[in-house]
Amino acid sequence: MTTQAKTIGVLTSGGDCAGLNAVIGAIARHAVDSYGWRVLGITDGTLGLTHTPRRYCELRPERLSAPLLHSGGSFLGSISHGEPDSEQRLVDRKQAFADGAEKLGLDALIAVGGDGSMRILHELCSYARLPMIGIPKTIDNDVRETERAIGFASAVQVVSDALDRLQPTAASHHRVIVVETMGRSAGHIALHGGICGGADAILIPERHLEIESVVTHIRRVFSSGRRHALIVVAEGVRAQVSTLKAFESVGTWLAMELEKRSGIEARCTTLGHLQRGGSPCAEDRRLAAIFGLRAVELLAGGSADRMVCWTKGAAHDVPLQDVIKGPRTVEKNCSFIAAARSLGIWIGEE
């Protein structure tokens, strides 16, 4: 496909995050103003194509309101799970997706999603023979082949702000406050947020949690004269705690365990979906602008089955095949691990 692409679809897929509306706006603006394409915003991720009647809206830049740039969520809607039938069995919607794309006359699709969405959409688009360009978004920042995904910086800001607010109350009551962040299989949010917010310990899924070693570290903090501490734990660390029940949070468990072992009062704050909502920070708006531009340029140049990415301080693009090999976790020799250590933060063992 080349610049002849006249009608393109845009959808957001997977868990939402800050910056989605900004990137949808950037795509529409450039595709319409620079190429005269028709841009259709698909409602609720793939559901807008697989359900009958198809749900979409034409994205006309002049109709897109200015608050789009700084609004949270996805005004198109998103889905973060498959579509079960009435008996809760997952249904193969490839043909329905292909039919939907044909019905709308799509020549190409720009999909804004995380690593799971890239894999699923790559499969759907290959089946439908629909050229696809991916744009990475996820607060978890775990999409392969890109150093940054839209939404990550805003989520890190939430964690950092939360720690700023929790530090004085921890200090007033001489407590340990544990902050649980999102991050199912990767600890990027916890690592970056913990460094920015001055945590004393950061626990991530990629590194071993040794509870006694955390207790020793916190005792050392207290005996040094500072009678409070902050700990950040990523939700994915729960996989290392075999006794946790499905509904129990790893942060609450950690606070209780610390209190029991050290005698120091501890509390837990779980940030949850706060990390996904709210206005995108400046960095996410910049990424949205540059990723939107590059995605449209790729389609205009005839590229397909690629994802835009951010590496070494600039936007590039990579084959989707390289992206869909599973999540990008925190590397053991990552410079932020070294930075955490240099700041005296307990970061666990490899």
Binding region for ligand F6P (CB under 6 A):
15, 80, 138-140, 182-184, 235
Please, are residues 164 and 227 in contact by the beta-carbon 8 Å criterion? no
Q: Taking the complex as a whole, how short is the minimal distance between the CB of residue 50 and ligand F6P, in angstroms?
A: 19
Given 44, 107, 115, 140, the catalytic residue: 140
Q: Distance of CA 36 to CAs 4, 5, 56, 59, 293, Å?
A: 10, 10, 19, 12, 14
Q: Bridge-partner residues for 180, per DSSP?
A: 233, 270
If you compute the radius of gyration of the chain from its CA atoms, what whole number of angstroms results? 22
By beta-carbon proximity to ligand F6P, the closer residue of 239 and 343 is: 239
Return the H-helix or E-strand segment holding 165: helix 152-173
Please, are residues 274 and 158 in contact by the beta-carbon 8 Å criterion? yes
- Joined tokens for residue 113: 């999603």
By beta-carbon proximity to ligand F6P, the closer residue of 189 and 231 is: 189
Assess whether 85 carries a catalytic annotation. Answer: no
Q: Bridge-partner residues for 136, per DSSP?
A: 113
Q: Taking the complex as a whole, how short is the minimal distance between the CB of residue 24 and ligand F6P, in angstroms?
A: 17
139: closest CA among 80, 69, 75?
A: 80
By beta-carbon proximity to ligand F6P, the closer residue of 84 and 168 is: 84
- Joined tokens for residue 342: 């240099």
By beta-carbon proximity to ligand F6P, the closer residue of 182 and 258 is: 182
Q: Taking the complex as a whole, how short is the minimal distance between the CB of residue 324 and ligand F6P, in angstroms?
A: 17
Residue whose beta carbon is closest to ligand F6P: 15
Q: Taking the complex as a whole, how short is the minimal distance between the CB of residue 259 and ligand F6P, in angstroms?
A: 26
Q: Report, as residue numbers or ranges, the catalytic residues.
A: 140
